Amino acid sequence: MIELLWPALLAGSGIALVAGPLGSLMVWRRMAYFGDTMAHSGLLGVTLAVVLNLNLTAGIALVTTALALLLFTLQRQRRLPADTLLGIMSHGSLAIGMLVLAFSPTVRMDLSGLLFGDLLAVNGSDVVVVWVIVALALPVIGFAWRPLLAATVNEDLARAEGIATDWLRVLYLVLIALVIAVAMKIVGILLITALMIIPAAAARWLARTPEQMAIGASVLGLIAVWFGLAASWFANAPSGPTIVVAAVVAFMLTLGLSRLPRQN
């Protein structure tokens, strides 16, 4: 019986590893709502992929990336603030996704599994896809880390010092889109950003350098995924919420740990 847990555990671990540095950048850049909006549009990606008979992961990654690029174009105008635009896109794409799902007779999918994750939906080929993406994304993040950090601190300064910030931004968005695409089955569309934000925030309490925070977020994310999936398995609960609750517990624990009096 327990072998049914392995695909979710392996896939979840890969996602947590990548989500650590990407989530830290998301926190530093104050892009949590942005990530949420991208994730919500994932539902539209799922339905489009099914209707057009595309690969599911590719469908989600395409739609989320397209949405992110559209957002950047729209942000050039000044009449509406960025968070209003995000709200329109986030809820709009979620609603359209739900409607397409409801009116497509060919699509028979478990909605609650899409929204909140279903560990039993993860199969062997998903694990392969996750780890291929992890194997691509981690070196890319490592290679681009210093410029990404410089652009996060101050974009003008980074540009003046010769960093191609526009390309970095696109790269970052594509990476997030990929994580969203592969994480959807396990944590669900509504909770994907939680897996990026909460471990990073938890690591912040203890970190003294950006790298400590990024790696700490990966480690805490791994722990949250393992405990969450175990809890989901034994309590027969949806896996997304159990993972998020485990991450929140980790957040509280690191907060408590950082408040302990230091012995010098």
Partner 1 sequence: MSQPSSRLIEGRQLGVRLGGKTIISGVDIRIDAGQIVTLIGPNGAGKSTLIKALLGVHKITDGEFYAKPNLSVGYMPQRVPIDDSLPLAVHRLMTLTHRARRDEVLAALALTEVAHLIDRPVQQLSGGEFQRVMLARALLKQPDLLVLDEPVQGVDFSGEVALYKLIQRLRDERGYAVLMVSHDLHLVMAATDEVLCLNGHLCCSGTPESITQEPTFTSLFGPHQADALAFYSHHHDHEHDLAHQGGHSHD
| Residues that bind partner 1 in the complex, under the rule CB under 8 A | 27-30, 76, 146-147, 149-150, 152-154, 156-163, 201, 204, 207-210, 212-213
What is residue 77's three-state secondary structure?
coil
| Alpha carbons 27 and 118: distance in angstroms, whole number | 26
Please state the closest distance from residue 80 (CB atom) to partner 1, in A.
15
Closest CA to 172 of 151, 192, 157: 151
> What's the closest the beta carbon of residue 228 comes to partner 1, in angstroms?
24
Residues 6+ apart with CB under 8 A from 93: 37, 40, 41, 43, 44, 63, 67
DSSP SS3 for 200: helix
Nearest CB to partner 1, comparing residues 3 and 156: 156
Q: What single DSSP character describes residue 236?
A: T
Of 20 and 113, which has the nearer Cβ to partner 1?
Answer: 20
| Nearest CB to partner 1, comparing residues 91 and 146 | 146
What is the distance between the alpha carbons of residues 249 and 244, in angstroms, rounded to a whole number?
A: 9
Name the H helices within 117-164: 124-153, 155-160
Which of 208, 259 has the CB closer to partner 1? 208
Shortest separation between residue 147's beta carbon and partner 1, angstroms: 8
* DSSP one-letter code for 2: G
Task: State the nearest-atom distance from the C-beta of 50 to partner 1, in Å.
Answer: 38
User: Is the Cβ of residue 36 or residue 118 nearer to partner 1 in the bound state?
Assistant: 36
Q: How many CB atoms lie within 10 A of CB 252?
A: 11
Asked if 58 and 87 touch (Cβ cutoff 8 Å), the reply is no
Of 181 and 213, CB closest to partner 1: 213
Which residue in 178, 210, 235 sits closest to 39, CA to CA? 178
Least distance from partner 1 to the Cβ atom of residue 39, Å: 20
Residue 79 CB, shortest distance to partner 1, in Å, is 12
Q: Which is nearer to partner 1, 108 or 208 (CB)?
A: 208
CA-wise closest residue to 17 among 231, 205, 249, 175: 175
Nearest partner of 142 among 257, 32, 17, 4, judged by Cα: 17
CB of 31 to partner 1, least distance (A): 11
